[in-house]
Amino acid sequence: MSSSWTHIAARVVVRPLVGTGVKPNHITTLRLVTGAVSCLLLARSASGDILWGGIWWLVSAFLDRADGELARIGQMQSRGGHLYDYYTDLLINSAFFLAIGVGLRHSWLGPWALPLGAVTCVAMLLCCWWSEVYEQISGPGVRTWNGGFGFDADDALYLLAPIAWLGWLAPVLVAACVCTSAMAVVIAVRLLLLKRRVKARA
């Protein structure tokens, strides 16, 4: 069970839902809907859309913690629920960067905004996918990236909302394109080395 601040907060919020008929998949569906709304607003980027897009993004990110915590404390964990949560995260976290690429088409990035968003989206998909494969091969309790000081590595996603409100999405998209692409390469190399070690032990 994670001890990060966001997981602890989510645990407190969902505890009253245990035994009420609310299932983790219900929360995952809300996560999917709120994340999709956020992405649509950020892609449109009309007046007020950035504000509300950021708000819905924070809600969606918190719900991503809440579904897993409800599953754990309510003893409702299942393979199907895990896959639904995993593919929802994969879709929403990747779509965010594609959405801001569309939304920034009239910024100083100009015609580069959409390609940057698309590359970042694909790189994020690969990072999530290969990380999941890495953890499955490694066994229980192994994480591709470990956090610290009460934060998980993916808690950085919470920062995307204030970044949007401050008007920093364009430079962040450029940085995200470089960083996620580099991360995808690093994870791919680690995965390849892990597979070789497993094969050597077999």
**Per-residue model confidence as pLDDT tens digits over 61-116:** 999 999 989 999 988 989 899 899 999 999 999 999 999 999 999 999 999 999 99
Number of domains in the chain: 1
Q: Place 149 in a pLDDT band, splitting at 50, 70 and 90.
A: very low
**What residues contact residue 178 under an 8 Å CB cut-off, 6+ apart?**
none
3-class SS at 166?
A: coil
Residues of the domain holding 105: 5-201
Please count the other Cβ atoms lying within 10 Å of the Cβ belonging to residue 15.
12
pLDDT single digits (tens) 18-49: 989 899 999 999 999 999 999 999 999 888 99
Residue 126 has what pLDDT? 94
Residue 29 has what pLDDT? 97
Over residues 156-161, mean pLDDT? 89
CATH number, domain containing residue 147:
1.20.120.1760
